Structure 1
Amino acid sequence: MTAREILSFQFGHYSNFIGTHWWNIQESNFSYDQDHPSDINHDVLYRQGETQRKEVTFTPRLLAVDLKGTLGYLSEQGNLYEECDSEESNSLWENKDLEVVTEPAPAKSPFIQSLEANAGESARKFDLESEVNSWVDYLVPRFHPRTINILKQYKHACTSQPFDIFNYGLNIWKNAQYSEDFCDKIRSYVEECDMMQGFHVILDSTDGFAGFGAACIQYLRDEYGKSILSFPAIDGKSSEPSAANLIKVVNTALCWQSIGEHSSLFSPLCAGTSGWLPSDVPREFANLTYNRDLKYHSSALLATALDTVTLRYRNKAYPASALSDLCADLNKLGRKAAAISLSLPFPMTVKRDLIDILDDFDGSPWTSLTPSCEITTDKNMQSIVLRGVLEERLKRPLHDARKQMAKPAYRCSTVHEMMTMYLAYSCHASATHLTVINEPLKIKNPFPKIFNNNVHANGDIAAWPVGEDVKSVPVMAGLHSGEGLSKMFSSLHDQAMKVKSIKKFHAFQDSGLEQDEYAECLNYLLDCKEAYEDHYV
């Protein structure tokens, strides 16, 4: 099957947490059974290559960027090819004249050690919540040597020289030597593609990576003119009110303005309700318990949503569906932003059918993962993906239908048909594109243990504790363009307005940001707020 390839980017530490979960999810959902091939076309996001030993490889088509001190045991050249033998590299020198000083190898997490030892299921015994300090501690796939890129000018978690200003990242991109090397790597990936359709970009929006990622997105738009779907991410962990929070707000505002101008579509990500407010509270899911202060936990929710919503154009059943179609559906009238939603697990109750579950839904069937944005069911342009609900769970057979027969939805013969009817009735004045895939989301290590004890191994919800290890779950996720985004832009604008002058934070001014540029950014947020208000249409 011919793939319409996408090149992915991850800019920043939290974005790499999200991306690592996303690639792990895809690896967990690979199918090696030729009699039951996967519904998902993995060639869209993966590339096939060859090692120096002529072994076939299948690696993410990815460029990931982080700071010094985040890689731990992982080499900047990735973990795909073996390094040259040290004896061969020293063959020109007399060993007796050499003094070799070696640093102790960075420690590997027990989970990574189990992967290398092919321990498999024994990894279940590990406490990943306490063992994960960086995204490399639970990274399953192998990376191509060009994938990992380190900004050597800054060190991770450094208090004396933090990478916390939008223009810091922008200025690194303006460094010709670095940007040319990075652009060469982009070009190498693009030239490998036969029918490239665009780019996925996950970027931290609260620090210097906001500027670096925004500059890269502008380059991608100018150089390639392909569709760009961007996900500016905010780590929604709890914090005390401080000047650092205002700096993050300014960075986020500048980031959204830039990517709003150059992306085809962008969808902000945050596991917190407010995003930029210190009093932020986590999003609640009925059958999950997670710690939003753990990047390892919150990023898994965001990655699950990304993996699901992108199935629209990674589905083998519809090879003509493209990223550009999604963007064109949702960015009407200059609306470049979309909210993202997640239902995890989709509440398939034990011994009940989809027709009854949909009939019993009270309120919104999804939870927003976009900061300061509640997704309404009415007046939306939206793209919904449902995975893992099989046709045999649709309704009862005719001889056992009973009350189901009185429902109009009983005439539906497929999950797609029934969900389409449900969305048509429940989402007033909305235009919905629906994608349905049979495959559930497979749950394997190192996905965090966040499901409550009332969730069965197959994802069914019980009214009592069952104590089973969850193996797979049905999931629904969506992208929505509607009125709720007006409140999001309004909230960000109100917080950004607290910084009356960037001179209050000299680092912005010293890095090259002008007051007029910041005023223009604030006006952009107001324009976006008005664009999503009902009276604007």
Structure 2
Amino acid sequence: MREIITIQVGGFANFIGSHFWNFQDELLGLAADSNNDPVFKNHFLNMDVLYRTGETPEGISTYTPRVVSIDYQGSLGSVCSHGTLYNQISPVPSPVFTWRGRLSTHRSEPHKKNLFLRCLDEEEHGASNDIDHEHTESQKELRDEDVIQCLENGVQFWTDFSKVHYHPQSLYELSGLWMDAQGFDNYGIGKDVFSEGLRGEAMSDRLRFFVEECDNIQGIQFVVDDSGGFSSVAADFLENIADDYSSTPVLLYAVRSPSSYMNSTTRKRTISRDLHDSISFSRLSSFCKLLVPVGLPLLSKSKASTYLCLDDQKPYHCSAVYAAALHSLSLPFRMELHGPTANLSCVSGSSDINSIIQMLSGQSRQNMVAILDAAMPAPCLIGSLAEQPLLSNLQPLTPEVAEEEDLQSLESLVIHGVLQSGGHQASVSEVEETISAAYGNAMPMPRFSHLSVALCPLPIPLPFPSIFNYAIGKRGELLGTPALDLPSKGSLDVSSIPMAVRLRNSSAVLPFLLNRLESLRSYGIRQGAPGADLLRSWGFGKDELEDIGEVLSNMVAALDPGSNLTSDSD
């Protein structure tokens, strides 16, 4: 067993996590139904890598994600922090009889379940016993359309579209920290959250619960919304993890929603935002082997969304795209290759977190920043191997990267569910041959490329948003050029899509690094810097800031040895 524990910290990270676990739940459901496409029945992915088996006090078997989710208090909407499987009741604090003053009680009304969650309850409890099959199917179709409409217009919490049962140790609300993204928007405001009120101990205990039941943990998949105070919470948590589990590699996704880029309306806020970006990045990157920045300022306007119809103001929309990419990246970590030789025709390129990190770093020991690219959906393979559009359709989901090709780059490429031009499933060997030919004939070849291939496409569950362009077919095939004036499609029209994703260690990330180095120097280190007082209020002294600047300079120099970046703090 090569278990992975997933940690999700912050609002947008949990939106991504909700979609991610919906994909896994859909895969489990499709594999269990013999009437579905065999490609889902025999996907040769070991779901135990991400899931744990358990048992309720009543003796009922459970199968739940191995995940720790951390968010504001009140962020779970209508879902209880103990989940729904174990029927635990939150303890009521004992009354304090030594207080003689007045008492006031503040109570908020519980959030009501939306139509989607109510339908889930009905299905699980077998509420419908209608004998008329055609009538039942018709009613279900109408109800599904209503559910989709409900989600498109009414998602407020990430739990509103989650169809997964969680273990009682998984969901943690930061006590006393009520949901207020506007007031929790910089690194300094979150700096004491982890250490106050035994929060850090509670978070560490939840992680320990999952770690101690693992046989051979391969790593931690850590997703953090680093656009505000949760970055500080995550950095402190990661520091604890580095101390307690020093031999366990951490793959860190630092994610941001498009709306998080829209807060810098004044020069003061711009300085605060830029300094936050510098401090957040330097702190997070120091506690993981591989950091992947994820989140474009205008995802809907990017090349990555050519065949998508997105609303940047809806985290429900944008998080679905990033979750799809993270799902695809996780496939090599759970491929099964030790069974019959027939398995080799379904998956290829199995790996683990540590191997991917070592490959991308070129065996270097220093921490590294990687670029995430995606093609959603991936195009079909065409007849001419020299003209394949597959690689050229990969577009960055990492912000502030250069477009120039880097022939010294190292990459890990994952492709799954790809179709041939006739709509038939492309075999693993056909995909491998196509990529090899494309690099040999048309595309510049990186210094090193590791390819993982799986037949199983990305399944589209019911609560997935309606973000597909009308030019996308039932199985994700591209039917023509994108049409902007036609309605978008969702899970009722698209059942699955092929995906291609790539992690690459490339000098194309230099603009991202240079922007953070320059912001730190201009606003925080140079004499008379306008953000010096702000950084002091965040707890950073001059010496520490110069150390951070030196670390950033070294990261730039590692990718661009010809750069002449000397400290200019005087």
TM-score w.r.t. the length of structure 2 is 0.79
- Contact 1:41–1:316 at 8 Å: present in 2 too? yes
1:108/1:531 CA distance change after superposition, 3 Å: same
53, 68, 77: which one pairs with 2:82? 77
- Contact 2:83–2:165 at 8 Å: present in 1 too? yes
C-alpha deviations, 1:32-89, integer Å up to 9, x for none? Answer: 1477333221111111111122111111101111112312211122222224699xxx
Answer yes or no: is 1:479 the counterpart of 2:503.
yes
Counterparts of 1:451 and 1:19, CA distance in 2 = 20
Q: Report how far residue 264 of structure 1 moved.
A: 1.4
1:128-527 mapped onto 2 (5 Å cutoff): 128-157=151-180, 162-175=183-196, 177-224=198-245, 225-237=247-259, 239=262, 241-242=265-266, 243-272=268-297, 282-317=302-337, 321-332=351-362, 333=364, 334=366, 336-348=368-380, 353-356=381-384, 359-361=387-389, 364-374=392-402, 376=405, 378-389=407-418, 414-425=430-441, 426-463=443-480, 469-500=493-524, 504=531, 508-527=535-554
1:318/1:357 CA distance change after superposition, 3 Å: farther
C-alpha deviations, 1:271-293, integer Å up to 9, x for none? Answer: 336x9xxxx96454221111122
- Contact 1:45–1:61 at 8 Å: present in 2 too? yes
Unpaired stretches in structure 2, ≥5 consecutive residues:
92-104, 129-139, 340-349, 564-570
- Contact 2:16–2:322 at 8 Å: present in 1 too? yes
- Contact 2:191–2:538 at 8 Å: present in 1 too? no
- Contact 1:309–1:477 at 8 Å: present in 2 too? yes
Larger displacement relative to structure 2 (333-342 or 434-443): 333-342
- Tell me which amino acid in the other structure corresponds to 1:422: A
1:403 equivalent in structure 2: none
| Secondary structure, counterpart of 1:463 in structure 2 | coil
Counterparts of 1:531 and 1:106, CA distance in 2 = 51
1:93 equivalent in structure 2: none
- Tell me which amino acid in the other structure corresponds to 2:517: H
Q: Report how far residue 481 of structure 1 moved.
A: 0.6
2:24 equivalent in structure 1: 26
| Secondary structure, counterpart of 1:255 in structure 2 | helix
Point out 4+ residue stretches in structure 1 off by more than 6 angstroms: 391-397, 464-468
Counterparts of 1:28 and 1:207, CA distance in 2 = 32
Q: Report how far residue 507 of structure 1 moved.
A: 5.5
| Secondary structure, counterpart of 2:194 in structure 1 | helix
- Contact 1:486–1:530 at 8 Å: present in 2 too? no
Q: Report how far residue 357 of structure 1 moved.
A: 7.3
1:209/1:485 CA distance change after superposition, 3 Å: same
1:214/1:357 CA distance change after superposition, 3 Å: farther
Q: Report how far residue 395 of structure 1 moved.
A: 9.9
1:40/1:427 CA distance change after superposition, 3 Å: farther
526, 533, 536: which one pairs with 2:560? 533
Q: Report how far residue 358 of structure 1 moved.
A: 6.2
- Tell me which amino acid in the other structure corresponds to 1:233: V
| Secondary structure, counterpart of 1:383 in structure 2 | strand
C-alpha deviations, 1:196-223, integer Å up to 9, x for none? Answer: 1110100111211111111211222221
- Contact 1:65–1:150 at 8 Å: present in 2 too? yes
Counterparts of 1:423 and 1:218, CA distance in 2 = 40
Q: Report how far residue 328 of structure 1 moved.
A: 0.5
Counterparts of 1:203 and 1:51, CA distance in 2 = 30
- Tell me which amino acid in the other structure corresponds to 1:323: I
- Tell me which amino acid in the other structure corresponds to 1:259: L
Counterparts of 2:425 and 2:177, CA distance in 1 = 61
| Secondary structure, counterpart of 1:48 in structure 2 | strand
Larger displacement relative to structure 2 (39-48 or 361-370): 361-370
Counterparts of 2:90 and 2:359, CA distance in 1 = 53
- Contact 1:49–1:58 at 8 Å: present in 2 too? yes
2:133 equivalent in structure 1: none
- Tell me which amino acid in the other structure corresponds to 2:32: Y
Unpaired stretches in structure 1, ≥5 consecutive residues:
87-99, 398-411
1:145/1:413 CA distance change after superposition, 3 Å: closer
| Secondary structure, counterpart of 1:173 in structure 2 | coil
- Contact 1:167–1:513 at 8 Å: present in 2 too? no
1:248/1:113 CA distance change after superposition, 3 Å: farther
C-alpha deviations, 1:96-132, integer Å up to 9, x for none? Answer: xxxx998643122222222222287633333222210
1:109/1:516 CA distance change after superposition, 3 Å: farther
| Secondary structure, counterpart of 1:302 in structure 2 | helix
Q: Report how far residue 480 of structure 1 moved.
A: 0.6
11, 14, 20: which one pairs with 2:12? 14
- Tell me which amino acid in the other structure corresponds to 2:479: A
1:471/1:102 CA distance change after superposition, 3 Å: same
Q: Report how far residue 486 of structure 1 moved.
A: 1.1
Counterparts of 1:444 and 1:395, CA distance in 2 = 22
Q: Report how far residue 300 of structure 1 moved.
A: 0.8
| Secondary structure, counterpart of 1:329 in structure 2 | helix
Q: Report how far residue 335 of structure 1 moved.
A: 5.5
Counterparts of 1:294 and 1:112, CA distance in 2 = 19
1:24/1:505 CA distance change after superposition, 3 Å: farther
1:289/1:101 CA distance change after superposition, 3 Å: closer
Answer yes or no: is 1:112 the counterpart of 2:117.
yes
Q: Percent identity?
A: 24
C-alpha deviations, 1:124-158, integer Å up to 9, x for none? Answer: 33322221012111111111111111122322126
| Secondary structure, counterpart of 2:523 in structure 1 | coil
Counterparts of 1:511 and 1:504, CA distance in 2 = 11
- Structure 1 vs Structure 2 CA RMSD: 3.3
Counterparts of 2:213 and 2:524, CA distance in 1 = 48
C-alpha deviations, 1:432-481, integer Å up to 9, x for none? Answer: 10011001111122111111111110111112779871111110001011
C-alpha deviations, 1:463-515, integer Å up to 9, x for none? Answer: 27798711111100010111101121112333444424687475643342223
2:342 equivalent in structure 1: none
| Secondary structure, counterpart of 2:177 in structure 1 | strand
2:57 equivalent in structure 1: 52
C-alpha deviations, 1:169-225, integer Å up to 9, x for none? Answer: 342323472222222221111111111111010011121111111121122222112
Q: Report how far residue 535 of structure 1 moved.
A: 4.7
Answer yes or no: is 1:43 the counterpart of 2:48.
yes
- Contact 2:7–2:222 at 8 Å: present in 1 too? yes
1:94 equivalent in structure 2: none
C-alpha deviations, 1:286-309, integer Å up to 9, x for none? Answer: 211111221111111111111101
1:485/1:142 CA distance change after superposition, 3 Å: same
TM-score w.r.t. the length of structure 1 is 0.84
- Contact 1:5–1:193 at 8 Å: present in 2 too? yes
1:306/1:168 CA distance change after superposition, 3 Å: same
Counterparts of 2:201 and 2:233, CA distance in 1 = 14
